[in-house]
Amino acid sequence: MTEHSATTSAAAEPATARGEQTRQLILDTAMRLFRERGYAQTTMRAIATEAGVAVGNAYYYFASKEHLIQEFYSGSQAEHRNRSAQVLRRENDFAARLRGVLHAGIDVNAPYHSFAATFFKTAAEPTSPLSPFSAESSPAREASIALFREVLEGSTAKVDPELRRDLPELLWLAYMGVILYWVHDRSHDQTKTRTLVDGAVPLIDRLVGLSRLRVVRPVTREVIALIHALRH
């Protein structure tokens, strides 16, 4: 499963109302137990029992235990967009918009911090479909990048036109960095991650502003060329 993926016996999309209901029941039960006991301490048997179905039934709808988490992932992403929309409507300063969206991302995920670690563990594995870089999560990634495109485009920021095209992806990458820090953040209520955001945003803002200066321009070009060469 690790070295060769692809064999994932794709779980079924429910085709009937009954199916949809069962799927939702299993998912809700799983999420509840994950929150109550943690991911590792929640067995598939426990989920099935609590949901009142057979173990195999869970595997009819979800290819694996980890795939149960992917659901929460896309759910939280939608919620992230919602909460960001408020800030984006209010602000038009680039730094304020970026800061708002980053904080919104933390807000949305905060309730799951305790088992986000487990999710992250899987996501970090390159062959995993849950990896934020994988083809399988490409739609989710694109949606997230689109959010940062909106941060930029709705703002008054003046940016090197060539950088403008790639900046949303870079901001998304920075967001991934924030998440990475957040996952490891053991401080109370993850306040340190807030500090990181509040400290990093002005720096990014200044950097982006500088990108247009004639002296810095060549460096900007260099960076852009590099990330183009590195993209998959």
Residue 78 CB neighbours (<10 A) = 12
Selected range binding a second copy among 22-30, 58-66, 84-92, 119-127, rule: CB under 8 A = 119-127
Of residues 21, 130, 140, the one with CA closest to residue 65:
130
40 binds a second copy, rule: CB under 8 A: yes
Residues 6 or more apart from 142 whose CB is under 8 A from it? Answer: none
Using CB under 7 A as the binding rule, the residues of this chain from 30 to 89 that contact DNA are 42-45, 53-57, 59-60, 63-66
Q: Choose the contact partner of 172 out of DNA, a second copy, none; CB within 5 to 8 A by kind.
A: none
- First-to-last alpha carbon distance for the chain, in angstroms, is 23
Residue that is written with structure tokens 């509840």 in the block: 32
Query: Alpha-carbon distance 139 to 54, whole Å?
Result: 32
Q: Is 170 in the site for a second copy (CB under 8 A)?
A: no
Alpha carbon distance 116, 106 (integer Å): 12
The binding track of 12-31 with respect to a second copy, each residue x by CB under 8 A or -, is --------------------
Member of 192, 212, 217, 221 binding a second copy (CB under 8 A): 192
* CB-CB contact of 209 with 158 (8 Å): yes
Q: Does 117 bind a second copy (CB under 8 A)?
A: yes
Which residues sit at the interface with a second copy, rule CB under 8 A? 1-3, 38-41, 114-115, 117-118, 120-122, 124-128, 131, 133, 181, 183-184, 186, 192, 195-196, 199-200, 202-203, 206, 219, 222-223, 225-226, 229-230, 232
